[in-house]
Amino acid sequence: MDAGTSQELQGKTALVTGAARRIGAAIARRLHSAGANVVLHYRGAEAEAGRLEAELNAARAASALKVKADLLAPIAPRALLGAALERFGRLDLLINNASTFYPTAVGSIEPGHWEELIGSNLRAALFLAQEAAPQLAKNCGAIVNIADIHAERPLKGYLVYSVAKAGLVALTRALALELAPEVRVNAIAPGAIAWPEDGQFAPRERERIIAATPLARIGSPEEIARAVHFLATAPFVTGQVLAVDGGRSLHL
């Protein structure tokens, strides 16, 4: 499936959270190139969101809208859905990509860590899905959640993050039951895709991860975007978690 030639999402609208950079930006570009209008959620990356919005609107006029929101705020789901409907009049796809990732070793976990990591990785996805569900049902739409291979096999030192992503996988399956048959709900479980920019993984740890990956490399954001595009347009797939990890989960 080549998004450069396919326009199967023409006339549809996608909301992508955490869309300004990295995986989120790749997803937004992929869905946009397949014909979708895109709502680009961001929290702090104002400049990157603005550049992406300008890029997509230059490719197709009035087809992208950036919206700032703190997903931990109770008003965020309604504000994001409202912006999508005001600009484009419909919502067909919800991509829950926004995430917070940092270590929380036992003995150093604070309530604020729990609130932030569970809030950004799990709670936000639930309340966005709940807010969007009536519109998605009206259009036989889909939700794609970005989980993690460590939802199934926890990452040592990242206890709260692993719990949050495990919850997101459970949420994916539960929503698939709750929202069927009108709305399909699936998840992607990435492996190592783009190294954290804050240097969380030292060079030796990066080498170890690549050595444990059968395809012997990390993935690219575009490869996650291709998988999201597939799940967004696969009419008989729901409740599934697709690992896009170069085979690394085989060794976890």
Active site residues: 161
* Nearest CA among 21, 4, 23 for reference residue 144: 23
Residues with Cβ within 8 Å of 62's Cβ and at least 6 positions away in sequence, in order, are none
Compute the radius of gyration of the chain from its Cα atoms.
17
User: How far is 63 from 87, CA to CA, in rounded Å?
Assistant: 9
Identity of residue 10: Q
In the chain, DSSP assigns E strands to 13-16, 37-42, 64-68, 93-96, 142-146, 184-190, 241-244
Helix (H) or strand (E) holding 224: helix 221-233
Give the up-direction half-sphere exposure of residue 245: CA atoms within 13 A in the CB hemisphere. Answer: 23
User: How far is 215 from 193, CA to CA, in rounded Å?
Assistant: 13
| Structural contact between residues 37 and 31, judged by C-beta atoms closer than 8 angstroms | no
Name residue, tokens 């309604």. 78
Helix (H) or strand (E) holding 202: none
